[in-house]
């Protein structure tokens, strides 16, 4: 499993419990040297968290390869090692633990290098990082997941499948969604070895597959329209693969014919040709309602019309919370308000509109772009959004879909912030 570049890792920062009692907190640090080393060469790690905690190097406990040691036990150990590819877990005894939120964590790690003159020892590695404590409780009525789309650009470069799933689980989420063509090697025919690995990792991290993203590329060939039958074949290919991987929802991204995302007219027949297979597989097809399309729109009316006309239980709506964005996304380098799509300033759908379609909604992608260090979302008004969802009776998944700045590893911390924020709000809703 891959590690983050920072000495202090974002994943693994959490309170620890002994029964009902919170006895401290822990975090993970990677080996700062170019090699692994015997654990007896560790000279401790001093830890300071804001103005709340300040402990000397000999206090924290160390967990390496599943075994936990005091510093003196490390010095006396024979055979214990801190491997280069392994993050060590540091546990700080602190009755009551840390409060929820973003914390300034500072460490001073000391290692004893035998090949450096003793007068220059120990070697000291200092690091600081603002990281979000893993959320605890406060779930409210919702379930929580993460889309691996959140880690776009990180995935396949600084994150592999296991690292990504571990980051999802570390937020306390129970669900994971993927993009078929983004995360399945050798799509659409993954090897049995990969499928076995997929299910093994789901079990290891106690995750369930939720929503599978697919595409109906209606502009597949220049100057040649896709037929409804071809659209159905594309959709059914992904329904079948999604079912093999354990997913219950499939979001088809259907080619559009207008700036307000009206889907290609073949969508209706393509979906209807696929409903029997969806029923047989136990999968729900759920196109997303995505900005700049609001809830009150002919596209939504047409989707609901198909449900009511056919009586199907295998077609529903997916709401992307980007439709509730009410403040602009900051301009990127080279952009102006005139040269980018207007919907990036937010279309500001009233959360109260959700009740009109709630009975048809089967999944919610919790789209967001930036949450600051005070756990304030800069674009999405989460309190009225979550209140509207709860009041309308929605109790399904809120699946994080981060779409902000793509600096390496930033997505992990942003997803942690969102889960802390929305779970806190959910616990406070009337």
Residues recognised as catalytic: 290
Give the bridge partners for 47, in sequence order. Answer: 55, 107
**Which of 393-425 are b and which e, b meaning 16 or more Cβ less than 10 Å from the residue's Cβ?**
ebebbbbbbbbbeeeebbbbbbbbbbbbbbbbb
Q: What is the C-alpha to C-alpha distance for residues 318 and 24, in angstroms, rounded to an integer? A: 40
Scanning the structure block, which residue is given the tokens 């220049």?
Answer: 222
Strands 21-29, 123-132: pairing is unpaired
Q: What is the C-alpha to C-alpha distance for residues 70 and 58, in angstroms, rounded to an integer? A: 8
Q: Two tokens at 399? A: 């699946």
* Residue 312 backbone dihedrals phi, psi, to 5 degrees: -70, 145
Q: How far is CA 307 from CA 127, 216, 268, 285, 304, in A?
A: 55, 20, 11, 11, 5
Q: Two tokens at 216? A: 């109906």
> Quick count: other Cβ atoms within 10 Å of Cβ 336?
7
Q: What is the C-alpha to C-alpha distance for residues 77 and 219, in angstroms, rounded to an integer? A: 64
- Which residues touch 117 (CB under 8 Å, ≥6 apart)? none
Q: Two tokens at 236? A: 């059914």
Q: What is the C-alpha to C-alpha distance for residues 301 and 273, in angstroms, rounded to an integer? A: 20
The string of DSSP codes covering 324-366 is G--SPPPPPTT--TTTS-GGGG-----GGGGGGTGGGEEEEEE
């Amino acid at each position: 499993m891959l590690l983050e570049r920072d000495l202090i890792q974002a994943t693994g920062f959490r309170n620890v419990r002994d029964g009902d009692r919170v006895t401290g907190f822990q975090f993970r640090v990677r080996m700062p040297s170019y090699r692994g080393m015997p654990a007896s060469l560790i000279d401790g790690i001093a830890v300071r968290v804001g103005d709340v905690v300040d402990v000397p190097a000999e206090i924290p406990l160390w967990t390496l390869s599943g075994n936990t040691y005091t510093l003196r036990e490390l010095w006396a150990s024979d055979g214990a090692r801190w491997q280069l590819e392994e993050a060590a877990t540091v546990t700080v005894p602190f009755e009551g633990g840390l409060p929820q939120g973003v914390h300034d964590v500072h460490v001073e790690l000391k290692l004893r290098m035998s090949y450096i003159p003793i007068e220059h020892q120990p070697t000291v590695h200092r690091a600081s990082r603002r990281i979000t404590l893993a959320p605890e409780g406060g779930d409210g009525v919702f379930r929580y997941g993460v889309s691996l789309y959140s880690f776009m650009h990180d995935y396949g470069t600084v994150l592999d499948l296991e690292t990504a799933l571990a980051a999802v689980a570390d937020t306390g989420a129970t669900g994971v969604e993927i993009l078929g063509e983004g995360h399945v090697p050798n799509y659409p025919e993954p090897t049995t070895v990969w499928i076995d690995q997929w299910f093994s990792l789901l079990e290891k991290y106690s995750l369930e597959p939720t929503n599978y993203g697919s595409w109906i590329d209606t502009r597949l060939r220049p100057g040649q329209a896709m037929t409804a039958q071809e659209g159905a074949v594309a959709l059914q290919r992904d329904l079948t693969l999604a079912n093999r991987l354990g997913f219950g929802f499939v979001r088809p991204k259907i080619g559009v014919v207008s700036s307000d995302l009206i889907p290609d007219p073949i969508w209706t027949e393509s979906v209807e040709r696929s409903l029997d297979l969806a029923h047989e597989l136990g999968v729900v097809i759920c196109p997303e309602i995505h900005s700049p399309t609001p809830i009150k729109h002919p596209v939504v009316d047409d989707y609901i019309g198909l449900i009511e006309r056919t009586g199907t239980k295998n077609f529903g709506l997916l709401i992307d919370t980007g439709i509730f964005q009410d403040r602009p996304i900051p301009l990127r380098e080279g952009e102006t308000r005139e040269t980018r799509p207007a919907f990036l300033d937010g279309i500001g759908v009233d959360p109260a509109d959700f009740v009109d379609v709630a009975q048809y909604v089967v999944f919610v992608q919790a789209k967001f772009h930036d949450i600051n260090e005070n756990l304030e979302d800069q674009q999405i008004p989460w309190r009225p959004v979550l209140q509207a969802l709860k009041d309308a009776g929605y109790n399904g998944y809120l699946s994080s879909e981060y779409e902000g700045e793509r600096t390496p590893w930033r997505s992990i911390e942003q997803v942690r912030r969102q889960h802390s924020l929305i779970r806190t709000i959910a616990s406070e809703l009337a």
